[in-house]
Amino acid sequence: MPRFAANLTLLFTEVPMQERAAYAARAGFDGVEVLFPYDLPVAEWDKALAGLPLVLINTPPGDWISGDRGFAARPGDEATFRDGFLRAADYATRLGGAQVHVMAGVAKGPQAEATYAENLAWAAAQAPDLRLCIEPLNPEDMPGYFLNDYDQAARIVTDIGCDRIGLQFDLWHAARLHGDPSAVWDRYRDQISHVQIAGFPARNEPGGGGFSLPALCDAVDAMENVWIAAEYRPARGTAQGLGWLTALKGRSQPIG
């Protein structure tokens, strides 16, 4: 059985962030991920995690309200990216070695791709004990985001040639970008190092969209150190919508 992580940025928002990991543990999750953990110091996170592993964080995005979405692919922002990455690597290392999603930022063109590849290679060299991943994001939810295609992402990972850099497969974004997330999974599964799930098309509780979650669980179970993270917007209270988790862990009913 694969391990399931709760995205604490989106789930259990009924309680303060410091209490969400404990709620996730009681609900049956095996670990957690957090989009941007930087509002709390490491010592507070260490206490708040309630014994659950932190499996994924993102690099600092910059000023989100002003439109920043990371800096790794932005020519001229190399210093900003590198300072932010070192902060992310420090958090990840001190909190148990979480994988770091390197956010590309709003950019376009060949120079942006070259900058992205250079920054990714630099980041891997700076954090030899950490795994990194990159994730294509759909333009409706993330306008102008540089990385918006799995073919492009896979090529960048292949060209860098570091086995500690993988792809983050998000069911929601894959479906929005390419229409058939199953085809994306089948084509790139050997490069995938982290999985996120949500329902389609509403991005609520996982299920739907023609993608078999039990089959995904079986595939991930055969992979090394890959987690399935719940990154969705609950339709109502988080705890009231966790039948999908019970079903996938017990396989008591079909889902998706």
Q: What are phi and psi of 145, to 5 degrees?
A: -65, 135
Looking at residue 67, the DSSP 8-state letter turns out to be T
Using alpha carbons, list the distances in angstroms from residue 189 to 94, 166, 200, 236. Answer: 29, 10, 20, 32
- The catalytic residue among 135, 140, 205, 224 is 135
Q: Is 113 a catalytic residue?
A: no
Q: Which two tokens stand for residue 143?
A: 């306008």
The amino acid occupying position 38 is Y
Q: How many Å from the N-terminal Cα to the C-terminal Cα in the chain?
A: 17
The SS3 call for residue 229 is: strand
Give the C-alpha separation, 60 to 41, whole Å.
14
Q: What is the largest CA-CA distance in the chain?
A: 53
Q: Hunting for tokens 């983050």 — which residue is that?
A: 168
Q: Which two tokens stand for residue 144?
A: 């102008």
- The catalytic residue among 33, 113, 205, 231 is 231
Helices and strands in the chain: count of H runs, count of E runs = 9, 8
Closest C-alpha among 95, 98, 163, 177 to residue 135: 177
Q: Is 231 a catalytic residue?
A: yes
CB-CB neighbours of 113 under 10 Å: 19
Looking at residue 28, the DSSP 8-state letter turns out to be T
**Catalytic center residues:** 135, 231
